[in-house]
């Protein structure tokens, strides 16, 4: 029997409710929607952590993000991953990642890959960063004005508003394109490179990981993606104004609301571009006659917030559904298509499930278990999913335990737990009191307690130390003084 | 207690290699080792895990389930 290959596509910031195959009404993912007809869609996939650096340890190494300690991000040296397992099994392995610094060799993500391209240097990414503005005599005047304005809240607000408008006026005089404004290589660049790599393979089974950043802020999709969605009146200048406005820290959600619809249009166009390019990738596989024996999986590391709870982007200040609920589409040989499975599925189980799907051995270190049998049978077990992250500053854990209907959010910083009835309150607007659904709260608390115990007892101290030493070594090599090295380790 | 010192034994060739590497970074092998050990023990994840487990246990007790 011909050995199966695997393509894992992760799309940064892709929310579950912004893809057609999970119910989004706007037609941003026509290609993936067509693939979904021959795939299993897991409608309730939940990341094990957010953002990127707390999510990928689970996706690649099937390990909860705080499993090695609070100071450690990424994969530990020698930690077994999806890539190392497949490389060991004789697969050709390659990763094409669209310039997310948290997915670089610094954090161990190159382990197990024969070819690893993180597109972090501008030569390979095709991204041209605009040169920094030179200091002018006006800069000194501005600094003086700002110092005076900061003396009262009213004048500070007026200064911020005027300064923002001045910056917008300056930048509006510049003629730029969306391509020039983009910070990350667009999907077409990555897919082009990935296709070249696939072309060079013979009959060897392969593992290809593609990480796309098209929906990531700042939101600058290709003009073609906007046009394809029928958005014809959104210029590069307008996109720059929208992104600048959306990024303002000095105005509240009330004022930001006015930009939300257009910001979502830009985000959707990023998703649409990723969809279009994935169509190219699949066409290339079909041409190479590799599509039929390849498992093709699309998911995300986390979602994105658009003021639903007052926040933007995806910082882990809370773990609402907009951040932890992601799409998951699995198309694989032998899997009957057109099925949508409900019930929470943690991405901690993704790597072992995919390894079983392609007939490879699952490393013992993986904390998740293969659900391939259940996916094939069309029924997921009723099993709560846990997502966690460490809060900035205190490094205390923020975690959620989520079953089919209820979600418990535990914030250890202030020792609170909040229960939501997702079935009747999907927007997480009305926390339930202790008196209501007490059994559900207790059940989810017990699962949290078990997770914390397993996290403590199952800690791999040597992996943690190796990961810590890698970071220390890096900081010492970069900054050859002890105090500078300490500073780098503490703030890096 | 900070000025109480302990003697440890390390392979000579490893010390020589480390001394060659640390030039310009640390004054001495003792400085390097103290720095590394301090950095490694700084990660108190296990202690935080235990503390957080106790918080959940207390919550369950408050709810009358332990």
- Inter-chain residue contact A482 with B31, CB threshold 8 Å: yes
Distance from the B58 Cα atom to the nearest Cα atom in chain A, whole angstroms: 10
pLDDT at A163: 85
The residue in chain B having the minimum alpha-carbon distance to the alpha carbon of residue A66 is B45
Q: How far is CA A262 from the centre of its chain?
A: 22
pTM of the predicted structure, to 2 decimals: 0.91
More confident residue, B61 or A3: B61
Does the pLDDT of residue A474 top 50, yes or no?
yes
By Cβ distance, the residue of A415, A434, A476 closest to B55 is: A415
pLDDT in tens, A87-141: 999 999 999 999 999 999 999 999 999 999 999 986 666 665 555 555 677 788 8
pLDDT tens digits, one per residue of A146-190: 888 888 888 888 888 888 888 888 888 888 999 999 999 999 999
- Say if residues A273 and A213 touch (Cβ distance below 8 Å): no
DSSP state of B24: T
For an interface test with B, which of A69, A464, A491 has the most B Cβ atoms less than 10 Å from its Cβ? A69
- Average pLDDT over all residues of chain A: 91
d(CA A130, CA A132): 6
Nearest one of A226, A276, A243 to A11, comparing CA atoms: A276
Query: Residue A417 and residue B63: Cβ atoms within 8 Å?
Result: no
Beta-bridge partners for A397: A390
Whether the pLDDT of residue A415 is over 90: the answer is: yes
What is chain B's alpha carbon radius of gyration, rounded to the nearest angstrom?
21
How confident is the model at residue A346, as a pLDDT? 98
Residue with more model confidence, A7 or A71: A7
User: What is d(CA A417, CA A410) in angstroms, rounded to the nearest whole number?
Assistant: 4
Half-sphere exposure of A27 (CA within 13 A, CB side): 8
Interface of B with A (CB under 8 A): 24-26, 31, 35-36, 39-40, 42-46, 48-50, 52-53, 55-57, 59-60, 63, 65
pLDDT on residue A158: 87
How far away is chain B from the Cα of A64, in angstroms, using its nearest Cα?
A: 13
Mind telling me how many Å the CA of A242 is from chain B's nearest CA? 40
In terms of pLDDT, which residue wins out, A382 or A296?
A: A296
Least confident segment among A245-259, A298-312, A414-428, A453-467: A453-467
Q: B12: which DSSP letter? A: H
Chain B residue at shortest CA distance from A483: B25
Which residue of B lies nearest to A398 if distances are taken between CA atoms? Answer: B52
Predicted confidence at residue A393, as pLDDT, reads 81
Contact B63 A434 (CB under 8 A): yes
User: Hey, CA dihedral for A468, A470, A471, A475, is it positive or negative?
Assistant: positive
- What pLDDT sits at residue B44? 75
Residue-wise pLDDT for B6-55, tens only, equals 999 999 999 999 999 888 889 999 999 998 888 887 767 888 999 999 99
Is residue A9 predicted with pLDDT exceeding 50?
yes
Look at B59 and A481 and tell me if their CB atoms are within 8 Å.
no
Q: Please, are residues A367 and A67 in contact by the beta-carbon 8 Å criterion?
A: yes
- Residues of chain B with Cβ-Cβ distance to A66 below 8 Å are 45, 49
Residue of B37 and A271 predicted with greater confidence: A271
Q: φ and ψ at A432, to 5 degrees?
A: -85, 145
Cβ–Cβ below 8 Å for A456 and B50? yes
Cross-chain Cβ contact B25/A476 below 8 Å: yes
* pLDDT number for residue A429: 96
Asked whether the beta carbons of A230 and A29 are under 8 A apart, the reply is: no
Taking an 8 Å cut-off on Cβ atoms, the answer to whether B63 and A397 are in contact is no
For the stretch A285-343, pLDDT in tens is 999 999 999 999 999 999 999 999 999 999 888 899 999 999 999 999 989 889 999 99
Residue A479 confidence (pLDDT) above 60: no
- The CA-CA-CA angle for residues B54, B56, B62, to 5°, reads 100
pLDDT of residue A489: 30
Using 50, 70 and 90 to split pLDDT, how confident is the model at A208?
A: very high
**pLDDT value at residue A482:** 43
Query: So what's the pLDDT on residue A481?
Result: 45
Answer yes or no: is pLDDT of A363 > 60. Answer: yes
Report the pLDDT value the prediction gives residue B46, as an integer from 0 to 100. Answer: 82
For residue A263, CA distances in Å to A221, A305, A382 come to: 11, 11, 36
Distance (Å) of CA A320 to CA A245, A399, A419, A443: 23, 11, 12, 20
Which residue is closest to A485 within chain B, CA to CA? B25
- Measured CA to CA, the distance from residue A35 to residue A37 in angstroms comes to 5
What pLDDT was estimated at residue A168? Answer: 81
Better-scored residue on pLDDT, A125 or A418: A418
ipTM of the complex: 0.85
Determine the straight-line distance between the first and last CA of chain A, rounded to whole angstroms: 48
- A&B contacts, CB < 8 Å: 78
Q: What 8-state DSSP symbol labels residue B2? A: T
pLDDT band of A485, cuts 50, 70, 90? very low
Nearest-Cα distance to chain A for B15, in Å, is 17
> Collapsing DSSP states into helix, strand and coil, what is residue B35?
helix
pLDDT of residue A135: 65
Q: Which residues contact A187 (CB under 8 A, 6 or more apart)?
A: A98, A212, A214, A273, A274, A276, A277, A278
Give pLDDT, residue A488.
33
């Amino acid at each position: 029997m011909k050995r199966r290959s695997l393509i894992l596509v992760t799309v940064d910031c892709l929310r579950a409710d912004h893809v057609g195959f999970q119910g989004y009404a706007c037609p941003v993912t026509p290609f993936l929607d067509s693939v979904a007809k021959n795939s299993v869609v897991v409608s309730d996939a939940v990341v094990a952590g957010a953002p990127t650096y707390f999510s990928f340890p689970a996706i690649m190494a099937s390990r909860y993000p705080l499993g090695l300690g609070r100071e450690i991000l990424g994969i530990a040296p020698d930690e077994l991953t999806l890539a190392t397992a497949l490389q060991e099994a004789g697969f050709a392995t390659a990763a094409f990642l669209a310039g997310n610094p948290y997915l670089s060799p610094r954090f161990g993500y190159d382990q197990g890959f024969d070819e690893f391209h993180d597109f972090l240097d501008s030569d390979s990414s095709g991204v041209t960063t605009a040169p920094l503005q030179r200091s002018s005599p006006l800069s000194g005047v501005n600094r003086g004005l700002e110092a005076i304005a900061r003396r009262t809240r009213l004048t500070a607000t007026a200064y911020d508003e005027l300064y923002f408008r001045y910056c917008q006026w300056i930048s509006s005089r510049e003629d730029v394109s969306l391509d020039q404004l983009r910070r990350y290589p667009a999907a077409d660049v990555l897919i082009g490179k990935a296709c070249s790599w696939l072309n060079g393979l013979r009959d060897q089974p392969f593992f290809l990981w593609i990480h796309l950043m098209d929906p990531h802020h700042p939101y600058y999709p290709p003009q073609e993606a906007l046009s394809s969605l029928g958005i014809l009146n959104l210029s590069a200048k307008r996109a720059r104004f929208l992104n600048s406005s959306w990024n303002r820290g000095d105005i509240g959600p009330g004022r930001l609301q006015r930009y939300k619809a257009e910001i979502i249009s830009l985000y959707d166009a990023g998703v649409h571009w990723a969809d279009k390019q994935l169509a190219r990738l699949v066409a290339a596989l079909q041409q190479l006659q590799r599509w039929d024996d390849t498992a093709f999986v699309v998911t995300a590391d986390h979602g994105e917030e658009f003021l639903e709870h007052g926040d933007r982007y995806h910082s882990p200040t809370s773990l609402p559904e907009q951040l932890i609920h992601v799409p998951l589409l699995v198309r694989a040989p032998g899997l009957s298509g057109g099925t949508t499975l409900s019930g929470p599925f943690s991405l901690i189980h993704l790597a072992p499930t995919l390894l079983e799907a392609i007939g490879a051995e699952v490393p013992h270190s993986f904390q998740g278990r293969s659900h391939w049998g259940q996916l094939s049978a069309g029924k997921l077990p009723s099993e709560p999913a846990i997502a966690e992250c460490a809060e900035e500053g205190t490094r205390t854990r923020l975690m959620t335990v989520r079953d089919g209907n209820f979600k418990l959010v535990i914030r250890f910083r202030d020792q609170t737990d909040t229960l939501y009835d997702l079935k009747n309150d999907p927007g997480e607007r009305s926390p339930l009191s202790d008196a209501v659904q007490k059994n559900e709260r207790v059940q989810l608390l017990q699962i949290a307690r078990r997770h914390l115990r397993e996290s403590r007892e199952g800690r791999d101290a040597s992996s943690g130390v190796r990961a810590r030493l890698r970071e220390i070594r890096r900081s010492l090599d970069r900054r050859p003084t002890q105090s500078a090295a300490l500073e780098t380790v503490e703030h890096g | 207690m900070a000025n109480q010192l302990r003697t440890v034994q390390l392979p000579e060739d490893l010390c020589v290699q480390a001394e060659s590497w640390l030039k310009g970074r640390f004054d001495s092998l003792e400085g390097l080792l103290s720095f590394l050990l301090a950095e490694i023990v700084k990660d108190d994840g296990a202690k935080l895990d235990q503390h957080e487990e106790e918080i959940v246990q207390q919550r369950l007790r408050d709810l009358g389930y332990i």
